């Protein structure tokens, strides 16, 4: 692959890294990352991946930008209120790096569409930047069944957590959390609040995991849950075991097709 002068200049600070180089930059330009949710986590993840030159970025979100999003969802601006989030995200990415192909899916992921979305551009890596557990379990199950790597993350108040699933290399999200909690059984950001920077810190870690996976360098958060508490600034890593009885990746899996768990309905606000 031949780089233009503009590309060499734009990506110079990472091309000089021995772990990246021109070969790594080529990998970024050819890579396809799907980001499900363009909110607190997805906003920084999408922007850093686009800045790094990831060639194709898919954005999935059915929502429109609201004023209450802007405290943390930095891909959207005041003038974007009312606009579909995927459109606002696409415009921000193109301002940042017009070379990136941004594919927008203005819908919620469901058992009916997630496989088609993942296959649409044959995405290499998926980022779960969603806010609810039915979606998180759906993304996990889809990635396990379709053998795709993904990064899970969650944030609330001053806390965040993230882990990475790579097929055949350790536990999946369902190994750890088994089944979604009933609706409203555990607090959400909407009810409990979240410090805006949590999405920036944890979503940026998700982007770092995607970039490392694309490069094939370093150690991913496979078999490890990284937790962060901004109130004490403590990062912790918890070693996670695979669960032999896991319903989707265990020794005798019982989930062989995708299911929708009980959830809030699109537009119900």
Show Cβ contacts of residue 158 under 8 Å, excluding neighbours closer than 6 positions.
Answer: 195, 198, 229, 230, 231
- Distance set, CA 35 to CA 150, 227, 244, 263 (Å): 10, 21, 29, 20
Taking contact as CB under 8 A, which single stretch among the options 9-17, 23-31, 177-185, 247-255 is the one that binds other proteins?
A: 177-185
The binder of other proteins chosen from 134, 149, 170, 200 (CB under 8 A): 134
CB of 236 to other proteins, least distance (A): 5
The binder of other proteins chosen from 14, 25, 56, 69 (CB under 8 A): 69
Task: Note whether 195 binds other proteins by CB under 8 A.
Answer: no
Task: Note whether 199 binds other proteins by CB under 8 A.
Answer: yes
* Three-state DSSP class for residue 139: helix
CB of 105 to other proteins, least distance (A): 10
Residue 94, φ and ψ in degrees, nearest 5:
-65, -30
Cite the DSSP H helix spans in 97-226.
114-120, 133-145, 173-177, 189-192, 197-215
Sign of CA dihedral 63, 65, 69, 73: positive
Spacing of C-alpha 224 from chain mean position: 17
Taking contact as CB under 8 A, which single stretch among the options 5-13, 48-56, 122-130, 207-215 is the one that binds other proteins?
A: 122-130
Task: Note whether 151 binds other proteins by CB under 8 A.
Answer: no
CB of 188 to other proteins, least distance (A): 5
Task: Note whether 186 binds other proteins by CB under 8 A.
Answer: yes
Of residues 26 and 120, the one with the C-beta less far from other proteins: 120
CB of 116 to other proteins, least distance (A): 15
Rounded-to-integer distance, Cα 89 and Cα 44, Å? 10
CB of 96 to other proteins, least distance (A): 19
Of residues 17 and 266, the one with the C-beta less far from other proteins: 266
The binder of other proteins chosen from 11, 15, 31, 38 (CB under 8 A): 38
Find, among 56, 58, 57, 53, the residue nearest to 20 by Cα.
53
Sign of CA dihedral 205, 206, 209, 211: negative
Binding site for other proteins (CB under 8 A): 36-42, 60-63, 69, 73, 85, 108-110, 128-136, 138, 153-156, 159-161, 175-178, 181, 185-189, 194, 198-199, 202-203, 225, 234, 236, 238-241, 243, 260, 263-266
């Amino acid at each position: 692959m031949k780089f233009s002068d503009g590309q060499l200049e734009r990506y110079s600070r990472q091309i000089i890294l021995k772990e990246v180089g021109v070969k790594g930059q080529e990998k970024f330009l050819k890579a396809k990352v799907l980001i499900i949710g363009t909110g607190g986590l997805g906003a920084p993840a999408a922007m850093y991946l686009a800045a790094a030159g990831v060639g194709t970025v898919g954005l999935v979100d059915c929502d429109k930008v609201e004023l209450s999003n802007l405290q943390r969802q930095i891909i959207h601006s005041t003038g974007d209120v009312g606009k579909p989030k995927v459109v606002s995200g696409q415009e921000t990415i193109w301002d940042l790096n017009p070379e990136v192909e941004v594919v927008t899916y203005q819908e919620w992921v469901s058992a009916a569409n997630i496989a088609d979305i993942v296959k649409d551009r044959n995405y290499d890596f998926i980022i779960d930047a969603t806010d609810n557990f039915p979606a998180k379990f759906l993304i996990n199950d889809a990635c396990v069944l379709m053998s795709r790597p993904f990064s899970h993350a969650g944030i609330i108040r001053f806390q965040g957590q993230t882990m990475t699933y790579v097929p055949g290399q350790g536990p999946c999200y369902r190994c750890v959390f088994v089944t979604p909690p009933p609706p409203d059984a555990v607090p959400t950001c909407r009810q409990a609040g979240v410090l805006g920077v949590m999405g920036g810190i944890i979503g940026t870690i998700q982007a770092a995991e995607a970039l490392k996976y694309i490069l094939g360098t370093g150690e991913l958060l496979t078999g490890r849950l990284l937790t962060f508490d901004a109130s004490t600034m403590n990062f912790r890593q918890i070693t996670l075991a695979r669960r032999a009885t896991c319903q989707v990746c265990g020794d005798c899996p019982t989930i062989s097709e995708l299911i929708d768990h009980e959830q809030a309905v699109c537009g119900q606000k």
